[in-house]
Amino acid sequence: MSSDQDHLKETDTEARFEFKKEQKAAFVAEKGLTEETIRVISEDKDEPEWMLERRLRALKQFQKMPMPTDWPGQPDLSEVNVDEIVPYIRPDVEVRGGVDDWRDLPDDIKDTFDKLGIPEAEKNALSGVGAQYESEVVYQNMQERWEEKGVVFMNMDQAVQEHEDIVKEYFMTKCVPPSDNKFAALHGAIWSGGSFVYVPEDVTVEMPVQAYFRMNSEGMGQFEHTLIVAEKGSEVHYIEGCSAPKYSAFNLHSGGVEVFVGEDAHVQYSTVQNWSKNTYNLNTKRAIVEKGGRMEWISGSMGSKATMLYPASILKGRGASDNHITIAFAGEGQNIDTGAKVYHNAPETKSTIESKSISKDGGRTNYRGLVHIANGAKNSSTAVECDALMFDNESTSDTMPYMEINESTVDVAHEATVGKIGDEDIFYLQSRGLDDDDAKQMIVSGFIEPITEELPIEYAVELNRLVELEMEGSLG
């Protein structure tokens, strides 16, 4: 075994995600959401006045907007009462903005990320790592060679201070305005932590950068904001990992992601989420892609009680392209509502969407997607493929692939399959010596293989393990 794979020796994936740490914090906001709460959070972060104003404006929008309740087949959000949520917990660390040495973290926090395998992954396969614990980033580091080339990878709170001009221009202005949806507005009001990535013109960041978001406390909300600006001709792969242990009270994760893909730039955004089954995961992720640019969204949505997540790409410049690959797994009591949105707003734009979902033990997966081709987006093409695999007759899966095509010279392809796992397939594998469970597991890992093969090996392994655990029903 090569040394750089040693960290994968830890096989008890269940234990790796399920442990809880005693809840210690330097600052805990009151439950609920008021103007006062927002002012206190902003002050605790020592933010400039304009950011506080944006937060307060977002809060007003949040209060005005109704909860989404009438989408066909959508998850039940009636339990999500924002007044029951602790919106902000600043972990008890000495250095605000994240240390750059794991050893400088308190033992319990360091141990958390050790268990999650983050420091090991950093050593072996990453250009940089950010690690968020509760509401703030506690560790942030990037290899010097990227820093020398002008690449910025820092926590979002710090970026507000140190890259104020860029943040002011891009932060929830042109990509994901708070008015977009109720949870984007909530996010705009109480966002905290997250990553800021800036890649200068023509720089290719060869190894991925990763951010890991861990919620440890009961009943809290995590609202990290990620802003990626990739200038002309640059290239970067950002990986996001998330998890939380299970508590009886619900947790809320409502992240916001904004990606600006410059001319001929290429951004890949990969997510492996493994929320506990009491977490509501309601995110808004969107990219704006300039001429000749390329955006790739790769998402593995595991865990959570309910997920609503539809990463979007706005193909703004001629020849811009998008690639979506999503996988969702819903077990007992879960409703995983995911999909993709692509707006073809320029000629010769191209998108491909590939969605795979698995439902088991009464779980529900939905594919909810939108492809919009604007009038004038001549010679654009889109291909959408959604496959759903169900384990039993109790599980459900719905496919809602909306298409709005306002241009005639376009190429549109759509395929969808919904099926129960094949008895003949299982028998075939059993007749070769695999038991029933292993046979099913092999079929599922093959079903998601087009996705795992896109990921770096560490994450492919991780995703496969998570799926195995989900199938055994052993994750909280």
CA distance 434 to 109: 41
In the region spanning residues 6 to 45, those forming contacts with other proteins, defined by CB under 8 A, are 6, 8-11
Secondary structure, 3-state, 88-140? CEECCCCCCCCECCHHHCCHHHHHHHHHCCHHHHHHHHCCEEEEEECCEEEEE
Backbone angles phi, psi at 282, to 5 degrees: -125, 95
Shortest Cβ 316–other proteins spacing (Å): 34
Piece of the chain touching other proteins by CB under 8 A; list 53-61, 285-293, 410-418, 420-428: 420-428
Separation in Å, CA 85 to CA 34, 75, 80, 81, 291? 12, 19, 9, 7, 42
Q: Which is nearer to other proteins, 28 or 429 (CB)?
A: 429
246 Cβ neighbours under 8 A, 6+ residues apart: 18, 276, 277, 278, 476
Report which residue type is found at 205.
V
Q: Which is nearer to other proteins, 380 or 452 (CB)?
A: 452
- Is 446 a binding residue for other proteins by CB under 8 A? The answer is yes
CA distance 307 to 301: 8
- Is 423 a binding residue for other proteins by CB under 8 A? The answer is yes
Shortest Cβ 307–other proteins spacing (Å): 23
CA 35 to chain centroid, in Å, comes to: 28
**What one-character DSSP code corresponds to residue 346?**
S
- Is 457 a binding residue for other proteins by CB under 8 A? The answer is yes
- Is 438 a binding residue for other proteins by CB under 8 A? The answer is yes
- Is 427 a binding residue for other proteins by CB under 8 A? The answer is yes
Cβ distance 447 to 356 under 8 Å?
A: yes
Q: Which is nearer to other proteins, 314 or 327 (CB)?
A: 327
- Is 107 a binding residue for other proteins by CB under 8 A? The answer is no
Shortest Cβ 157–other proteins spacing (Å): 36
Q: Which of 449, 472, 473, 474 binds other proteins (CB under 8 A)?
A: 449
Backbone angles phi, psi at 363, to 5 degrees: -70, 160
- Is 448 a binding residue for other proteins by CB under 8 A? The answer is yes
Q: Which is nearer to other proteins, 400 or 426 (CB)?
A: 426
Piece of the chain touching other proteins by CB under 8 A; list 160-168, 170-178, 314-322, 421-429: 421-429
Q: Which of 23, 74, 381, 464 binds other proteins (CB under 8 A)?
A: 464
- Locate all alpha helices (DSSP H) within 171-316, ordered by sequence: 182-190
Piece of the chain touching other proteins by CB under 8 A; list 59-67, 217-225, 394-402, 457-465: 457-465
Q: Which of 26, 434, 468, 476 binds other proteins (CB under 8 A)?
A: 434
Q: Which is nearer to other proteins, 4 or 47 (CB)?
A: 4
Report which residue type is found at 92.
D
- Residue 333: left if φ>0, alpha if ψ -120 to 50, beta else—which one? left
Instruction: Write the interaction track for other proteins spanning residues 299-338; mark x where CB under 8 A is met and - where it is not.
Output: ----------------------------------------
- Is 394 a binding residue for other proteins by CB under 8 A? The answer is no
Strand, coil or helix: what is 6? helix
Other CB atoms within a 10 A radius of the CB of residue 435 amount to 10
- Is 421 a binding residue for other proteins by CB under 8 A? The answer is no
In the complex, the residues that contact other proteins under the rule CB under 8 A are 1-2, 5-6, 8-11, 422-425, 427-436, 438-439, 442-443, 445-450, 452-453, 457, 460-461, 464
